[in-house]
Amino acid sequence: PEAFMARYREQELHRLDPLPGLAFRLGHPASLRDIIERAPSLNVEEQCYIEAVKDAGLTDTFMIPTYGPFARP
């Protein structure tokens, strides 16, 4: 949703967002639910971020890890 994306940019939530790293470590496409279930323990800020994602209605999300040059995220 647009409101969440605006909040993501304005509050620099990328600093708390564990999802890209978790998807990258998993190494294959997976649902948000699967990624969270397989995640190692998240810190308090990361848990709050996940709750904000759920509150924004992004519960049926599919993550696809992408790689840059030399297989870097």
pLDDT per position as a tens digit, 3-33: 999 999 999 999 999 998 888 888 889 998 8
| Total count of residues recorded for the chain | 73
pTM summary value: 0.78
Asked if pLDDT for residue 53 goes beyond 70, the answer is yes
Asked if pLDDT for residue 73 goes beyond 60, the answer is no
Opening angle at CA 64, ends 32 and 42, nearest 5? 45
Q: What share of the chain is helix, strand, coil (3-state, %, to 5)?
A: 60, 5, 35
Contact 40, 22 (CB under 8 A): no
